[in-house]
Amino acid sequence: MDISRAVVAIDGPSGSGKSSTSRGVARALRLDYLDTGAMYRAMAWYMLDRGIDVSDPAAVAAVAHQPTLASTTDPDAPTIAVDGVDVSEPIRGEAVTGAVSPVAAVPEVRARLVEIQRAVVVASLAEGRGIVVEGRDIGTVVLPDATAKIFLTADPEARAARRALEDAGRAGDAAPAAGDIAATAASLAQRDAIDSGRAVAPLRRADGAVQVDGTYLTLDEVIATIVGIVEEACSDG
């Protein structure tokens, strides 16, 4: 199979390094890139912006069809817009982070976004480009026939440290404040429980997915490992 048309599914829990890794793999293989987690965050942002109670699945489901979401697929500058408004930055705030898991657990939200995600993949392939898609249900639900399926993991402590460092950088700080890593670990554990325990498309390793543990690997090493997996899958195909 021509690697330039490969479809790569990268799943894993929060803080496992999916975004940085997926963008790196897309750059290395010159593929498009789609962050499906940003779509769920954008939907959560929309609910909060409209004053919808995100803890009420019926209320979320009732308006899940309303927003127009548009994602760009450049791994160097991925963006997402809601009804024409770029929300790439606002969706990374604490309010959205706290709301995204309950919103993502609503079946109507998942059905809507899976449809959009598959359409993005079809559009990339129609233009002659493959794509790297990251999320939590890509290999299991969205793209079960992907060229290569990866399940990216890391120890809880490493995930918490990485996420706390990212949050600190986003806030303009050089390092996490005292207690931030512990708080982040608790938050990630809560998200893991929701994502893995939801009735629809729970987070799990897809059949045929290769598990990559990035706990003791550098980002470049993780990227190189996955690039090798994709190259092997394409040569086998």
pLDDT reported for residue 163: 75
Please say whether the beta carbons of 61 and 106 come within 8 A: yes
CATH hierarchy code of domain 3-236: 3.40.50.300
Please say whether the beta carbons of 146 and 7 come within 8 A: yes
The domain locations on the chain are: 3-236
Task: Grade residue 178 by pLDDT with cuts at 50, 70 and 90.
Answer: low
pTM of the model: 0.87
pLDDT reported for residue 72: 96
Strand ranges inside 22-74, DSSP E: 32-35, 69-71
Q: What one-letter code names the amino acid at 145? A: D
Q: Is 157 helix (H, G, I), strand (E, B) or coil?
A: helix
Taking residues 135-139, what's their average pLDDT? 95
Task: Grade residue 143 by pLDDT with cuts at 50, 70 and 90.
Answer: very high
Q: Give the residue with greater pLDDT, 163 vs 211.
A: 211
Taking residues 115-131, what's their average pLDDT? 98
- Asked whether residue 183 carries a pLDDT value surpassing 90, the answer given is no
- Asked whether residue 189 carries a pLDDT value surpassing 90, the answer given is no
